[in-house]
Amino acid sequence: MATQTIMSGRDIDRSLDRISLELLEKNHGIDELAIVGIHTGGVFLAERIHKKIVDHEQGDLPLGHLDITLYRDDWSLISQNPIVRTTDIDFQVENRRVVLVDDVIFTGRTIRAAMDAIMDYGRPLSIQLAVLVDRGGRELPIGPDYVGLNVNADAGERVDVLLAEKDGRDEVVLHGAKE
């Protein structure tokens, strides 16, 4: 079993540049748009995307952070004492196109939980999904609108997104890759 770097820091930055521009293009600017990062890795990526868009558009763009721990259908299987983080959505989601941001999409369960959590804040015009890595293997019919990298990872492989804000460096690593 090998470990393979599948995205460098420069690759991550280029992907976030592209995702940011695609978001602007699809949504015709930032009117009605809001960015929401899913704890934990999605929060840092959402902050980066938000900065890129604000720098480009020179406008006001709501940014939020979402904890989905207690919305997961499998939280009791993950831990008897789940770690609950802060949700910070200090804007109205009604009449907004909410873009959920996460680091990796795999089964789709995290995103399903995030959509349930967002709906507790109101009914947005739409919910879109931006992910840095789509590793395949969906259990639910949920797909991202914006993707940095598609990887066909086997069930036994793990994709780790390392970010400077929490890991001291930017890198995406595939663990358990066949040599």
Provide the token pair at 87.
Answer: 């949700």
The phi, psi pair for 139, rounded to 5°, reads -100, -20
The CATH number corresponding to 2-177 among 3.40.50.2020, 3.40.30.160, 3.30.300.30, 3.10.180.10 equals 3.40.50.2020
pLDDT of residue 92 exceeding 90, the answer is: yes
pLDDT digits over 123-139, tens only? Answer: 999 999 999 999 999 99
Beta bridge partners of 35: 63, 99
pLDDT digits over 56-91, tens only? Answer: 999 999 999 999 987 755 544 445 555 556 799 999
Task: Give buried/exposed letters for 3-33 (b at 16+ CB in 10 A, else e).
Answer: eeebbeeebbeebbeebbeebbeebeebeeb
Identify the residue whose tokens are 């293997």: 137
How far does Cα 85 stand from its chain's mean position? Answer: 16
Provide the token pair at 170.
Answer: 């930017």
The amino acid present at 126, given as its one-letter code, is: S
Show me where the domains of the chain are located: 2-177
The answer to whether the CB of 27 falls within 8 A of the CB of 85 is no
CB proximity list for 4: less than 8 A, separation 6 or greater: 173, 174, 177
pLDDT at 69: 82
Reported confidence tier of residue 40, pLDDT bands at 50, 70, 90: confident
Helix axes 41-57, 9-27, angle to 10 degrees: 60
The phi, psi pair for 97, rounded to 5°, reads -95, 105
Distance in Å from the first CA to the final CA of the chain: 7
pLDDT digits over 52-64, tens only? Answer: 999 999 999 999 9
